[in-house]
Chain A
Amino acid sequence: MTEAQQAVAQAQAQVQAADRQIAAATAAVQTTQAAIAALEPRRQELQAGLTEIERLNAEITRDPLERATLQQVAAQLSARTAALEESHLVARFALEDAETLLASSITRRNELTTLLAGLATQIPEAEAQEAAAQQALAAAEAEVTALLEEGP
């Protein structure tokens, strides 16, 4: 009886474990499906781009050419190229600006590092001078006090 009960309990535990695995797998599948669905527009976009490229290539290499169609293709390409060239120029100028800023920042960092290194030696020296001056001041005050107490 005990063995049977143990077997049942073990079987129930296995079923529960299997249920958990199923739930986890289901969740994973759902996540994957969601990810796939999210990528679908991008896939369609890329597919459309490839199709468009193939169409352009086909028109450019068609022999003999279809002049009216190729004129439209050339116009599309020209407009896209002009826009890309403009974007490229803007990006290039922005890159140059960033590089210039980076160079100046690095230069300033080096300057600051040099200055701090100088301060690292100057400050102890100044503090020592300050301490020495305080000692000299105490000595001078003591000397004056002694003279006053001593009298003429």
Chain B
Amino acid sequence: MRPITEGSDIPERVPPAVLRAWATKLRQLQAAHDRVVARAQAAQRRAALLIRQRAQYHAELGQVNAQITATQEAVTRKKAEVAALSAQVDEHRAARDAATARLLGTDRLSGTVATSHPLLLFPVRVETRFAARRIGPGTDLLLRVYPDDIHLDSHEPALTEEEELRGKEFWAHVAAAPAGADRQEHIRQGWQRLTEQFGTTRAAWLAHVLDPAQPGTVTRRDDSWTRAPHTQVLPDRWVAIGYRSDAARVTAWGRPIPETVAVGPDPRSTSQLGNNGMPPVDEGIRWITDFDQAESIGMGLRIPVAEENAQAGFDRIVVLGLKASWDAPTTAGRLVELFDAHHYTGSLALVEQLAPTNNTADAPAGFRSTSRNAADSMSVELGASLIRPGSDGELLAQALGLPASVFAHVRGADGSEQRRSSLMQAALLALCDSPLMRQLLGATGTDVLRDHFTKYVRARGPLPVLRVDSQPYGLLPVAALDRWISTTDQDPDRALATWWRAQRLTRRRHVPQAIQTTVESNPVVLLAQEANAFRYTVREFPEVSTQTTACAATAPHPGLPDAAADSRALVPARTGLGRIDDPARTGSAATARGGDGSAHLSNRRMGHFAGDTTASGDAAGGTHRHQARRLRLGGTGPARGPAATGPGTTGRCHRAGLALGTEQGLRPRSLTGTCGGGGRAEKRLLVARGESCNRRRALCGRPVVRAGPSRQMVARRGAPRSVLEHAARLSIRTPSPRARLGPLHSAIPRPHELHL
């Protein structure tokens, strides 16, 4: 371009219009040039970006490939390690179980307890105390075991002359009854005379043993009281296992227990009254007050403990034993005798769910200590058998492997609670929906799940509640899910068991976090509070008109995430996955199946169990008295451990769970642990046990009832507000008692594992 000093660049002769056109053209070209520059820059940036991404991806791919290679090697290594450990664990478990089975059995090899043997575990009461060792330094744990009410037998089968005379008079009166409408009234009058003279239960025994329709040999006794109350259903010996932090710290075996152990004074004793004016303690019941005597007959254990255990104490002590020296027929016979003794001395009945344990302004208690009217008792004792197909009595007899006739005249045996529950389950299944249900459906299929749910899932337990006097006993079939096996490949429950095992293992990893994140209360405790639904919620669905979520284990809570519903029912609400009448089942497969009435203790052993005792504190700590009354029905191996009832050590009737409930102002929950089968009826009836404690106090010679909240406080009706609030927050409105058997408790040692 020329310098400006040389003159104008633009000739003066260029017309302005041409100049403007030229300038316009130049601006257009500049704009186009700018656009092209922008496009080129964008294309350059994009290409550079893609190339950088490719380099990054290549680098990451290299890392990932290396990680995959290393992880594959790790997986291979871990698989081999798991396989090797699995084999070792199986071998050691088998050896441990074999040794345990020998120890629980008789001394002979033929008396070994097999894992295919179903067991009936009775509750017992345990008292513990640390004491200085007699010889040398150190501490011993003194442990006493007392039989429970259900063990006791004060029945006098023989008749006095007067009883025989009046009994025969009664039957003569019956024989002379006129036909027609007045016949029943005529018999009732005779029955009333008999009951007024001997009491209802004894009159029932007289009528039973002197029934002309069932002639038998009548034995005679020369006095109204001829023998001491006793028990003949104690095990061969006790074994006590002390746990701390879920690990067995000490195991001790007791001495052999005699066939018959007296639990009350002997009327033929010649002992004199003591200086304190108390009844004499004869030789038979000296074990109750003399620890050395108790130790000598196996009812007391002196357990040397290490100093560490003496200082730290134990979280839990489990005491159990088996009567392996009896064969199945003998066991069945003893059970029949025991139930007959309760039937004809105190009171034996099947209790309905939700029966109150105490008299309140709203309703009377489910137990009456006074005799019922003659017509009522006559219909039960002298009427037709109460056993009906599918009735609760028949179901209970089948589960226990007893003839149904033993409950033929037991009040409540004609109930249909379980059958109704099954029908309710069938009705509810179609309405229940939750992620858990969908997962189960995917794992098992609709038909299998429906069948299982209808037959076995029971929020209140799969067997009726038994009552001995005023003491209810829940029967809960238990089995070890981890060790359950099926005898056939076609068993539809296999898929369900496999699914639950995997779920339990998965959730077990998250249990610590689950407990930590719950600030309200320990969810284990929370889940134990209520076995029955106390609220129903209706949900509206677009495609379905209404949905009733009364199903405890599956109903999701509106407004809460589905995970809450899942966490509420982590385990099957049925505890038994197999049949206990299957003698071919091996290992720990002996489980119970109550819903279809097929459960049958065909090869039964009698066992005893007590747990939930806390022995902690200093060496001079007082005696801890606890009792969790429950009958456990399960296989030799699979009997699941007790609930961790916590440190509650005070309360009425020294039931551990009850004590905890009263301390917290909650409903007593001593039977809500791993049992849960009894539900509210058990728990409430449990409270009405003051007289039993008083009786025991008389026997023991020292007070056994500790100070605690009033009975009325314990027995108030309805769920406590605090429980309701907790439940509402956590969507645990109707926690199933079986949830106690779930992963939240998987870390709790089980009795069958016997960490020796």
Contact = CB atoms under 8 A, between A and B. Distances in A.
B697 interface: no
A77 B756 contact: yes
Contacts of A95: 75, 78-79, 81-82
A40 interface: no
Contact of B98 (A60, A92, A94, A119): A60
Interface stretch (A2-10, A19-27, A28-36, A65-73): A65-73
B43 A74 contact: no
Given A94-B78, A95-B82, A102-B75, A152 B19 contact: yes
Interface string B99-113: 110110001110000
A129 to B, nearest CB: 4
A134 B107 CA distance: 99
A85 B37 CA distance: 71
B79 A152 contact: no
B536 interface: no
B36 A140 contact: yes
A112 interface: yes
Contacts of B54: 116, 119-120, 123
B25 interface: yes
Nearest to A99: B75
A34 to B, nearest CB: 28
Interface residues of A, number: 63
Contact of A91 (B26, B36, B82): B82
B39 A64 contact: no
Contacts of B46: 126, 129-130
Contacts of B95: 56-57, 60, 77
A91 B100 CA distance: 27
B573 to A, nearest CB: 26
Given A126-B46, A126-B50, A81 B32 contact: no
Given A74-B96, A116-B58, A136 B89 contact: no
B102 A70 contact: yes
A122 to B, nearest CB: 5
Contact of B96 (A67, A71, A78, A141): A78
A137 interface: yes
Nearest to A78: B756
B61 A84 contact: no
Contacts of B57: 112, 115-116, 119
A67 B88 contact: no
Contacts of A148: 26
Interface in B128-162: none
A95 B83 CA distance: 11
Interface string B241-274: 0000001100101000000000000000000000
A60 B29 CA distance: 103
Contacts of A93: 509
B43 A67 contact: no
Q: Give the dominant DSSP class at A's interface.
A: helix
Contact of A75 (B53, B98, B251): B251
A61 interface: yes
A147 B67 CA distance: 62
Interface in B337-391: none
Nearest to B109: A63
Given A99-B75, A129-B46, A78 B103 contact: no
Q: Give the dominant DSSP class at B's interface.
A: helix
A64 B36 contact: no
A151 interface: yes
B515 interface: no
Residue from A79, A82, A147 having most chain B Cβ neighbours under 10 A = A82
B75 A127 contact: no
B64 A112 contact: yes
B193 interface: no
Given A105-B64, A112-B61, A133 B36 contact: yes
Given A63-B108, A87-B85, A94-B78, A137 B64 contact: no
Contacts of B51: 123
Contacts of B96: 74, 77-78, 81
A112 B36 CA distance: 34
B86 A106 contact: no
B584 interface: no
B40 A130 contact: yes
A43 interface: no
Nearest to A94: B78
Interface of B: 10, 14, 18-19, 21-23, 25-26, 29-30, 32-33, 36-37, 39-40, 42-44, 46-47, 50-51, 53-54, 57-58, 60-61, 64-65, 67-68, 71-72, 74-75, 78-79, 81-82, 85-86, 88-89, 92-93, 95-96, 98-100, 102-103, 107-109, 247-248, 251, 253, 505, 509, 753-756
Given A77-B95, A91-B78, A109-B68, 9 more contacts: A65-B107, A84-B92, A116-B58, A119-B57, A123-B47, A129-B47, A130-B47, A137-B33, A148-B26
14 contacts: A57-B95, A65-B109, A74-B251, A77-B756, A78-B754, A98-B78, A108-B60, A109-B68, A112-B64, A123-B50, A123-B54, A130-B40, A137-B33, A144-B30
